[in-house]
Amino acid sequence: MMLADGAIRSGKTIAMILSFLRWSQVSFQDKDFILAGVTTGALTRNVLSPLFQMLEALGLSYEHKRSTGMVIIGTNRYHLFGADKDNSQDKLQGMTAAGAYADEVALFPRSFVDQMIGRCSIAGSKIFLNCNPNGAFHYIKTDFIDRAEEIGLYRLHFTMADNLSLSPEIRESYARAFQGVFYRQYILGEWVSAEGAVYPMWDNELNTYEERNPRMYRGMRRYCAIDYGTTNPCVFLDVWDDGEVFYIAQEYYWDSAAARRQKTDAEYARDLADFLGGDREVQIIVDPSAASFKAELRNRGFRVQDAVNAVREGISTTATLIGNRQVKAERHKCPALLREMQSYCWDDRARQKGEERPLKERDHAMDALRYLCHTKTNRFRRKT
């Protein structure tokens, strides 16, 4: 096995794809191989697109059979798999492969990796693994990297300096785009775990403001980020955006358990209309799983957008904006958000199992904030 890990944008993916391609074409004919990504969409974007460019540059013909999830290069067959579900390993059952390439393998279920290794049973087979670092207790770190000599793993550790196509200015801009544990993982390429507060960079002075005149929001875009709940609390965040800073002007917080009464979708929709002063031009950002509530809002003329609900990546984006003071909450009108910010912590028990996730307690305003930041931000909004 060969593992390439390290910083983002360090060139490890391109190096591994080309290495896997040349090795498989030289070593075997008329054999089956595994190409796996977190999802088939991610596999297409991260692996197949550069792979096809390489093949064209090398003058090698290929056939992409989308209906069967296969790429044929020469006489070899490369089968395409997504590894995003706990039962995804079932797709590999019964297969005999001469090799495998796994992109972003630290995001795979362990069961898929074990099954993939077991399928590569032809003499001379090799397994190529590629990923960014995760937590210190992640199985790739504890069971592969730490046992490299024992299991026959060759490790290549990459830094941004290994990517000669990146200018010093671009490397510096990426380094400024992450905070805390994500800087150590994504920029330094370290396998370290998140501990303590999720957003230790929050400052109650620098990340809050006082609204002295409602006209301060004139000319800004307006959003409303929602963490929908029936048995759990439901949160609305009223957000104004000047292109640089998200100003959270006010919040709505309904806790059905404390109130001893659940609200219907229609009641929440009426509350939202009142909360926004009847403004139907506000873009509403909602957890994509809240299907019935989204339908109710659309029926009432609201503009609804599905939130990008990627927890770890969303926390990274939110942390960067907080650290850059690009998120500010009105200090008198957002009590739940300010209260949750102080108690929002990483789950220590999950960390011991190699998982990086926050405690699912008093996190509803935090979820709404993450939906806002990760849905409405890309790297180029972050200060560089």
Q: What is the CATH number of the domain that holds 161?
A: 3.40.50.300
The four Cα atoms 192, 197, 198, 202 give a dihedral, to 10 degrees, of -120
Instruction: Indicate whether 197 belongs to any domain.
Output: no
Whether residue 99 is found in the same domain as residue 130: yes
Q: Give the whole-angstrom CA distance, residue 71 versus residue 35.
A: 9
Whether residue 242 is found in the same domain as residue 146: no
The upper half-sphere exposure of residue 102, i.e. CA atoms within 13 Å in the direction of its Cβ, equals: 30
What distances in angstroms separate CA 138 from CA 10, 67, 150, 347, 354, one per listed residue? Answer: 21, 35, 18, 14, 4
CA-based nearest residue to 306, from 374, 247, 258? 374
Tens-of-pLDDT digits for all 384 residues of the chain?
999 999 999 999 999 999 999 999 999 999 999 999 999 999 999 999 999 999 999 999 999 999 999 999 999 999 999 998 778 888 898 899 999 999 999 999 999 999 999 999 999 999 999 999 988 889 999 999 999 999 999 999 999 989 989 898 988 888 888 888 888 899 999 998 878 889 999 999 999 999 989 899 999 999 999 999 988 999 999 999 999 999 999 999 999 988 889 999 999 999 999 999 999 999 999 998 999 999 999 999 999 999 999 898 999 999 999 999 999 999 999 999 999 999 999 988 888 777 888 988 889 999 999 999 999 986 545 544
Whether residue 258 is found in the same domain as residue 338: yes
Whether residue 91 is found in the same domain as residue 234: no
The contacts of residue 359 (CB under 8 Å, 6+ apart) are 344, 345, 346, 347
Q: Residue 124, Cβ neighbours under 10 Å: how many?
A: 11
Whether residue 219 is found in the same domain as residue 172: no
Instruction: Indicate whether 200 belongs to any domain.
Output: no
Whether residue 139 is found in the same domain as residue 217: no
Q: Which amino acid is residue 354, in one-letter code? A: G
Taking the mean position of all CA atoms in its chain, how far away is CA 5?
17
Whether residue 140 is found in the same domain as residue 288: no
Range of the domain at 26: 2-186
Whether residue 262 is found in the same domain as residue 222: yes
Whether residue 181 is found in the same domain as residue 236: no
Q: What is the total count of domains within the chain?
A: 2
CA-based nearest residue to 37, from 29, 28, 27, 46? 46
Instruction: Indicate whether 194 belongs to any domain.
Output: no
The DSSP result for 90-111, as a single string, is GGGTT---SEEEEETGGGS-HH
Whether residue 363 is found in the same domain as residue 261: yes
Whether residue 330 is found in the same domain as residue 260: yes
Decide: helix, strand or coil at residue 16. Answer: helix
Whether residue 178 is found in the same domain as residue 256: no
Q: What is the CATH number of the domain that holds 234?
A: 3.30.420.280
